[in-house]
Amino acid sequence: MNLPSPNPLLLDLAVLAIGLIALLMEAFEDEKKKTFTGWMSVFGIGMIFVFSLFAHPMSYDGVYQFATFYMADATALFFKRIALGSTLLVLIMSLEYRGTLARYIPGVGEGGQSEFFILPVFACLGMMWMASAADFVMIFVSLELVTISFYVLVSYMRRSAVCLEAGVKYLILGALSTGFFVYGIAWIFGVTGQTNLGSVAQVLRQLAPGAQSGALFGMALIMVGLGFKIAAVPFQLWVPDVYQGAPTPVTALLSVGSKAAGFIVLMRVLGMFASVPSLHGKILAVTAGMAVLTLIYGNFAALPQNNLKRLMAYSSIGHAGYLLVAMASLGDYTVSTVSFYLAAYLLMTLLTFLVMIVVQRATGGDDIACFKGLSQRSPLLAFGMLIAMLSLAGVPFTAGFLGKFMVFRDAILQKQWLLVAVGAVTVGAGFYYYLKVVCAMYWNIATETSAIEATTLTKVTVVVLAFLIVCLGVYPQPILSMLE
Amino acid sequence: MLNLLIAIPIVAAIAVLLGAPARRTALLASALNFILTLLVLFGYNQAKGGYQFQSSVSLVPEWHLAFYLGVDGLGILMLLLTVVVAVAAIWVAPPPEKIERAPNLYYASLLFIAAGATGAFASLDLFFFYAFHELALIPTFLLIGIWGTGDRAGAAWKITIYLALGSFVLLVGLTGLYTSIPADSRTFDIVRLQEMARTGAIHAPPWVYLCTMLGFGVLVSLFPFHTWAPQAYASAPTPATMLHAGVLKKFGLYGLLRVALPLMPQAAHSWNTLLLALLAGNILYVGLVTISQKRLDSMLGYSSVMHMGYIFLGLASMNLIGVTGAALLMFAHGLSIAALFAIAGNIRQKTGTLEFSQLGGLATPLPFLGFAFGLAAFAAIGLPGFGNFAAELMVFFGAFKNGGPGLAFSDFQIVTVVALWGVVISAVYMLRAYRAVFMGETPARWAGLSDCCRCSSENSCCIRPAIALLLALLLVAGFQPQLFVNLVRPAILPAVTHAVLSK
């Protein structure tokens, strides 16, 4: 049977439609039915995710006018799936999170929870566009769609001071980095007269070396802007506070979706600059430098953390470091390495956050101490968390290990010895702080022994995610063949 | 067949985690594995040689990554060691009612360790060879952390971080090896790689061998990376120690023998001096440290580190007799150290202490343990009649043969002489321990102890069958080493011939 495969562009439009319908329903529906928007978003995004698995890469050259803006190659499609998958899981988490959310937002008359399920849909749309963006203008617009959705989501719990602090920090630093990014685009445009990635590279290649300094400056500014999005050192300062303060599902989306979107843009921009022979060495040296700093800062600052959300913030910085290692070792495998690593990262991070939300609701906190004796209180959740932590640390038979293997294979192939040496040390550090959570769950005896309950949907999701992590750790072929 | 060998413990572990009766399931699984391994042993066609019982499932065709299993004589010997020690360790484990917390997790962890070791020895794919060894890492972390004694937290962190770092260095080395092959013929297939090495298609830079040597070295507690071992072995629950000291530690040596030596013989020659210096540290320095120990468990831990020096010496000699001796010593040492730790654990259970100053005269109330400890200690020292003697003798012959012409001693011969003194050192600490624990006046508080016990809820299980199994195999290896030598020699011969040629 030959199923009609959906046009990748349709996926984006469908997400847009879901978001708009949900917004209209929120505006015109009865107060009582408003929990419905949550389920509708979950269901809608879930359906689109399933459809996206049947989509095939397409070339729009000569078909549409905007083909210079928008591309739908295998990589773009893969990152659309990542965006859809992470949004879906985050929406499932948000359903678990309702109770906590209700405590921190004012009564029904002043606006309720519905937008909490609608804004991620728009953020998802932004990420999907970003995956397809082939033009600086398009990149900028989609980046802003994501970032502005996050400004609202991060500070969603209006009665929590920590949450508001996080929102302000994210807003100010986010706006600043956007400024850098636009300024960089302006410089590139000023030098080359182009905004399309392909054309910019073409013009740059023909420029005399002396005339490139403007483009170099623009490139540096763009790296600053993107460094903020992917949480690379030295643009990581916002990460711990924002991650800790934001509502947990938002933190999850921030650490997975936003990062994945940042990396696809970085991959495209970096590839573009690296294709210019005179810039090749410079841009890779900058990336390698950022990778070293990010690895060291993320992994070593994570060591003393006692709060799991903060720990995950530093861990997110650390993983950005490994991804930057892959970027700095630009070669034939880079796209598949980065994509696989992000897919693995998505599974293990979202599994962690999902378990965290359930435990947070039951114990009222997200310190590592709250996980004491989880193996007795809920063996299933503890086991899911165990798999997630092992994968994050990079133990074989998990997707996380395979991702790290691919990163270091690329680094060795490109003879990036410094990155390999630093990576070896940081992997050891990672073992310590991830196993700290395992240690709390399994070694320590619970102070309270009441069982922790979770909804069936959550339990099923935990099992599926853990299963996928182990499966991809042994059999990565499905992901790799998606990228061909 | 080999697939089953790996699947049985994993399935059993999952069943135990889901609530199956822990001890019965675990014993059944390990007994089944024992029988399967015997079938493999007797089904292996020695006349034909080579890798048999092969099965392969391609996973990533583009990388030539496959779940590829198969064994030769050496693999079978290691599998035999694994299943024997696993049966003994699970037998020795306390009955579930006696385990304070989560008994099912305890047994499942043991099964996972056994599965990891089995998988590592049966894999012919570099990737899974490495991955299976790591499978044991986390169960060990849990076993020591939850049920350990003494400074269990410190010991668990130390062994985990040490082994994680060591394996990562190893991973870098193996990846370096993988990437040093031309892009179109890159493969994880060990058999293919060995063929390529023989035809000279692999040109790994020297650092690759150094990384694998040090990586494997950390896993085997090569001096000066040995400090994790005694501490972890002293704290870990007895069955975990038996499996780790007896079986898992041999993985690093097996890796050197299976991967590093045959694939990079030139590099092996050039790093040999460093290896000799480090292994002399194992024998002499750690040997002297062992003498000064004041507790039975840490003494055994250090002694196991020390004996790794002999095996390294055999591997470094790179001739047929030396390497065969090393393989045999891996087997014999695994059995003897597992027996010693089992007895020590039983004594701790009975008396609550392993301090030499507290113990004494235990041979009177505990004649069987005294007798068995004596036998195992003699084996560990290397007295004739036990596998260790035959193996150590071969190692010494092999290493001494590497002398140059003329009167001056080569570095190999100097280290061999040092190693011979190591035998005296082992005799000193083993016999001193034996005297301190079993000889002399029996203090009144130990007089009431009794040797045997039925498997009941008040008492721990009788460890006699487990010890008897281990010692019996040791004696077989001692009186008929030819059986095992014939098994492993064909597996070692090609690698050694190649190594000598490429000198």
Alpha-carbon distance B350 to A261, whole Å?
A: 61
* Together in a domain, A311 and A409: yes
Instruction: From chain A, pick out residues whose CB is under 8 angstroms from the CB of B164.
Output: 393, 427-428, 431
**CB contact at 8 A, A267 and A342:** no
Instruction: From chain B, pick out residues whose CB is under 8 angstroms from the CB of A409.
Output: 175, 178-179
**Among A420, A438, A439, A483, the residue to mutate for chain B (most B Cβ within 10 A):** A439
* Together in a domain, A40 and A68: yes
The reported pLDDT for the residue numbered B452 is: 60
Main-chain dihedrals φ then ψ at residue B462, nearest 5 degrees: -70, 125
Are A439 and B131 a contacting pair at CB < 8 A? no
Alpha-carbon distance A412 to B205, whole Å?
A: 12
Nearest neighbour of B59 by CB, restricted to A420, A438, A474: A474
Last residue of a domain, one of A243, A275, A307: A275
The reported pLDDT for the residue numbered A160 is: 84
User: Looking at per-residue confidence, does B39 or A98 come out higher?
Assistant: B39
Average pLDDT, chain B: 86
| Exposed/middle/buried for residue A91 (C-beta within 10 Å: 0-12, 13-18, 19+) | buried
* Together in a domain, A301 and A241: no
Last residue of a domain, one of A232, A247, A275: A275
Last residue of a domain, one of A275, A290, A312: A275
DSSP string for A334-394: HHHHHHHHHHHHHHHHHHHHHHHHHHHHHHS--BGGGGTTHHHH-HHHHHHHHHHHHHHHT
* Together in a domain, A29 and A43: yes
Alpha helices in A105-245 (DSSP H): 114-132, 136-154, 161-192, 197-206, 213-230, 239-245
Total domains, chain A: 2
Are B135 and A420 a contacting pair at CB < 8 A? no
Are B131 and A396 a contacting pair at CB < 8 A? yes
DSSP letter at B451?
S
Q: Is B179 on the interface with A (CB under 8 A)?
A: yes
Q: B143: distance to nearest CA of chain A, Å?
A: 9
Count of beta carbons in the 10 Å neighbourhood of residue B454:
8
Return the closest-CA partner of residue A236 out of A164, A307, A158, A318.
A318
Residue by residue, pLDDT tens for chain A (484 residues) are: 455 677 888 888 999 999 998 888 877 776 665 667 788 888 999 999 998 888 888 777 777 777 778 888 888 899 999 999 999 999 988 888 887 887 777 665 455 677 888 899 999 999 999 998 889 999 999 999 999 999 999 988 888 888 899 999 999 999 999 999 999 999 999 988 888 888 888 888 888 777 778 888 888 899 999 998 888 888 888 899 999 989 999 999 998 888 888 899 999 888 888 888 888 888 889 899 999 999 999 999 999 999 999 999 999 999 999 999 999 998 888 889 999 999 999 999 999 999 998 888 888 888 888 888 888 888 889 999 999 999 999 888 999 999 999 999 999 888 888 999 999 889 989 999 999 899 888 888 777 778 888 888 889 999 999 999 999 988 888 888 888 7
Domain enclosing residue A71, as ranges: 1-275
* Together in a domain, A316 and A199: no
Instruction: From chain A, pick out residues whose CB is under 8 angstroms from the CB of B235.
Output: none
- The number of angstroms, rounded, from the C-alpha of A99 to the middle of its chain's C-alpha atoms is 25
Structure tokens at A219: 């490139």
Total domains, chain B: 1
Domain enclosing residue B154, as ranges: 2-501
Mean pLDDT within B418-439: 89
The reported pLDDT for the residue numbered A36 is: 76
Instruction: From chain B, pick out residues whose CB is under 8 angstroms from the CB of A427.
Output: 164-165, 168
The residue of chain B with its CA nearest to that of A419 is B172
Instruction: From chain A, pick out residues whose CB is under 8 angstroms from the CB of B161.
Output: 428, 431-432
**ipTM of this model?**
0.88
**CB contact at 8 A, A70 and A10:** no
- The number of angstroms, rounded, from the C-alpha of B292 to the middle of its chain's C-alpha atoms is 24
List all residues 6 or more positions away from A303 whose beta carbon is below 8 Å from its beta carbon.
A429, A432, A433
Q: Report the largest interatomic distance among the alpha carbons of chain B, rounded to a whole angstrom.
A: 74
The reported pLDDT for the residue numbered A4 is: 63
* Together in a domain, A324 and A264: no
Q: What is the tens place of the pLDDT at every residue in B467-479? A: 888 889 888 888 8
* Together in a domain, A332 and A416: yes
The residue of chain A with its CA nearest to that of B156 is A439
Q: Which residue has the tokens 């030098």?
A: A191
* Together in a domain, A153 and A82: yes
Q: A297: distance to nearest CA of chain B, Å?
A: 19
* Together in a domain, A311 and A430: yes
Q: What is the tens place of the pLDDT at every residue in B10-20? A: 999 999 888 88
**Cis preceding linkage at B265, omega within 30:** no
**Among A435, A436, A441, the residue to mutate for chain B (most B Cβ within 10 A):** A435
Nearest neighbour of B160 by CB, restricted to A409, A431, A477: A431
Are B161 and A445 a contacting pair at CB < 8 A? no
| Exposed/middle/buried for residue B479 (C-beta within 10 Å: 0-12, 13-18, 19+) | middle
Alpha-carbon distance A96 to A82, whole Å?
A: 21
Count of beta carbons in the 10 Å neighbourhood of residue A211:
11
**Total-model pTM:** 0.91
* Together in a domain, A364 and A391: yes
Nearest neighbour of A442 by CB, restricted to B142, B168, B175: B142
Alpha-carbon distance A257 to B361, whole Å?
A: 68
- The number of angstroms, rounded, from the C-alpha of B364 to the middle of its chain's C-alpha atoms is 32
Instruction: From chain A, pick out residues whose CB is under 8 angstroms from the CB of B59.
Output: 474-477
* Together in a domain, A248 and A354: no
Are B146 and A443 a contacting pair at CB < 8 A? yes
Are A443 and B137 a contacting pair at CB < 8 A? no
* Together in a domain, A315 and A433: yes
Main-chain dihedrals φ then ψ at residue A174, nearest 5 degrees: -65, -45
Are A424 and B146 a contacting pair at CB < 8 A? no
Main-chain dihedrals φ then ψ at residue A2, nearest 5 degrees: -110, 100
pLDDT band at B459 (very low <50, low <70, confident <90, very high): very low
